[in-house]
Amino acid sequence: MSVAPQSDQLLTIRTLTDADLPAFSAVLASAFLIDHNDDFLASERTVFEPARSHGVFDGAEMIGSGQLLTRRLVVPGAGPIPAAAVTSIGVAPGHRRRGVLSMIMRTQLAGLHETGEPIAALWASEGGIYGRFGYGLATQYVRLALPRGAAFRRDVEVDPAPVRELPREQALPLIRKIYESVWADRVGYLDRTDGAWDYHLFDAEPSRRGQTAYRFAVHPEGYAVYRTRQEWQDRGPRSPVTVRTLVAANPPAYAAICRYVLDIDLVGEVTMRLAVDEPLVHMLADSRAAVRTMFDALWVRLVDVDRALAARRYAVPVDVVLEVADELCPWNAGRWRLAVGEDGRAEVERSAADPDLALGVEALGAAYLGGTRLATLAAAGRVRELRRGALARTSLAFLHDREPGCLEDF
Residue 278 and residue 140: Cα distance in Å, rounded? 12
Candidate list 24, 130, 133, 254, residue with the active-site label: 130
99 or 147, CB closer to ligand COA? 99
What residue type is 92 in one-letter code? Answer: A
99 or 268, CB closer to ligand COA? 99
122 or 261, CB closer to ligand COA? 122
Reply yes or no on whether 410 is catalytic.
Answer: yes
Interface with ligand COA by CB under 6 A: which residues?
31-32, 89-91, 96-102, 124-126, 128-129, 132
> CB of residue 384 vs ligand COA: minimum separation in angstroms?
23
31 or 249, CB closer to ligand COA? 31
Output the 3-class SS for the chain: CCCCCEEECCEEEEECCHHHHHHHHHHHHHHCCCCCCHHHHHHHHCCCCHHHEEEEEECCEEEEEEEEEEEEEEECCCEEEEEEEEEEEEECHHHCCCCHHHHHHHHHHHHHHHHCCCEEEEECCCCCCCHHHCCEECCEEEEEEEECCCCECCCCCCCCCCCEEECHHHHHHHHHHHHHHHHHHCCCCECCCHHHHHHHCCCCHHHHCCCCCCEEEEECCEEEEEEECCCEECCEECEEEEEEEEEECCHHHHHHHHHHHHCCCCEEEEEEEEECCCCHHHHECCHHHCEEEEEECEEEEECCHHHHHHHCCCCCCEEEEEEEECCCCHHHCEEEEEEECCCCCEEEEECCCCCCEEEEHHHHHHHCCCCCCHHHHHHCCCEEECCCCHHHHHHHHCCCCCCCCCCCCC
110 or 124, CB closer to ligand COA? 124
> CB of residue 30 vs ligand COA: minimum separation in angstroms?
9
C-alpha distances (whole Å) from 335 to each of 133, 327, 344 are 20, 14, 21
> CB of residue 105 vs ligand COA: minimum separation in angstroms?
7
27 or 150, CB closer to ligand COA? 27
Q: What is the CB neighbour count within 10 angstroms for residue 72?
A: 19
31 or 311, CB closer to ligand COA? 31
> CB of residue 362 vs ligand COA: minimum separation in angstroms?
14
Reply yes or no on whether 32 is catalytic.
Answer: no
Residue 136 and residue 185: Cα distance in Å, rounded? 23
Which residues are catalytic, by number? 130, 410
